[in-house]
């Protein structure tokens, strides 16, 4: 697990593997000023970021063979969790996670189409896609490490095909201050220059 302060990293949210959002950006109110993600490879930078929690884990299963003295530890799946915390300034993340009250709204598993919020109806079925390259879903997070950028090399930790699994808002006596959105992916993340 690694925790970064918002000033140490820059995070962009794009459609999963540059697909999943077609025609335009995921813009929850149609104003183009509160864009959550974009179908461009560059994505949309998260503003007012205060913290990023990056966790990488593996799920193992113990298998015992009859007559054997040792136990086999078989890796079942990898899991990468990214939690983004930002200062709450609007209800964009609320609408992306909970929807706007209309049927099939929200965008926990990604988005499709060019309307304000066009969520996949429930958990996506990737077997129904007929267009090449569109059988993926979710979001792509790129975490740019600012310390590497100052040294002349841009190191980017990319997590593809993330689903949104949680959204929390912190409250205090004066009102809301911060909100956290949690992304989870079972894809292998990549580390590189882009």
**Residue 128, pLDDT above cutoff 90:** no
Burial class (CB in 10 A: 0-12, 13-18, 19+), 14: buried
| CA–CA distances in Å: residue 1 to residues 30, 41, 53, 57, 107 | 37, 26, 7, 9, 26
CA distance 77 to 143: 22
**Residue 85: pLDDT band with limits 50, 70, 90:** very high
pLDDT attached to residue 93: 85
In this prediction, what percent of the chain has a pLDDT beyond 70?
65
**Residue 183: pLDDT band with limits 50, 70, 90:** very high
**How does the average pLDDT of the chain come out, rounded?**
75
pLDDT attached to residue 69: 81
**Residue 23, pLDDT above cutoff 80:** no
Lowest mean pLDDT among 54-63, 129-138, 167-176, 185-194: 129-138
| Residue 114 vs residue 35, higher pLDDT | 35
| CA–CA distances in Å: residue 193 to residues 31, 41, 112, 116 | 33, 14, 28, 32
Domain harbouring 81, CATH code? 2.30.110
Q: Which H or E run contains 146?
A: helix 146-150
- Strands 2-5 and 26-27, by their bridges, are unpaired
Q: What pTM value is reported for the model?
A: 0.77
pLDDT attached to residue 152: 58
- Of 88, 50, 79, 53, whose CA–CA distance to 168 is shortest? 88
Q: What is the mean pLDDT of residues 166-194?
A: 88
**Residue 53, pLDDT above cutoff 90:** yes
pLDDT attached to residue 170: 92
pLDDT digits (tens, 9 = 90+) for 147-161: 654 555 678 898 888
Q: What is the CA radius of gyration of the chain?
A: 18
| Residue 130 vs residue 6, higher pLDDT | 6
pLDDT attached to residue 137: 67
Task: State which residues form the domain around 144.
Answer: 2-192
pLDDT attached to residue 130: 46
pLDDT attached to residue 109: 75
Our count of domains for the chain comes to 1
């Amino acid at each position: 697990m690694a925790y970064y302060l918002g000033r140490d990293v820059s995070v962009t949210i794009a459609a999963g593997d540059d697909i999943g959002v077609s025609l335009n950006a995921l813009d929850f109110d149609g104003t183009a000023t509160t864009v959550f993600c974009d179908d461009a490879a560059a994505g949309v930078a998260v503003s007012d970021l205060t913290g990023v929690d990056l966790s990488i884990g593996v799920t193992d299963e113990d298998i015992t063979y009859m007559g054997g003295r040792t136990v086999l530890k078989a890796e079942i799946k990898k899991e990468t969790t990214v939690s983004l915390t930002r200062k709450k300034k609007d209800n964009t993340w609320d609408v992306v996670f909970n929807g706007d009250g209309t049927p099939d709204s929200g965008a926990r598993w990604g988005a499709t189409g060019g309307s304000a919020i066009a969520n996949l109806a429930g958990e996506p079925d990737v077997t129904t896609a007929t267009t090449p390259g569109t059988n993926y879903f979710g979001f792509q997070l790129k975490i740019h490490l600012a310390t590497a950028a100052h040294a002349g090399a841009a190191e980017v930790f990319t997590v593809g095909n993330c689903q949104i699994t949680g959204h929390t808002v912190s409250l205090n006596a004066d009102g809301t201050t911060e909100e956290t959105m949690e992304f989870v992916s079972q894809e292998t993340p990549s580390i590189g220059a882009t």
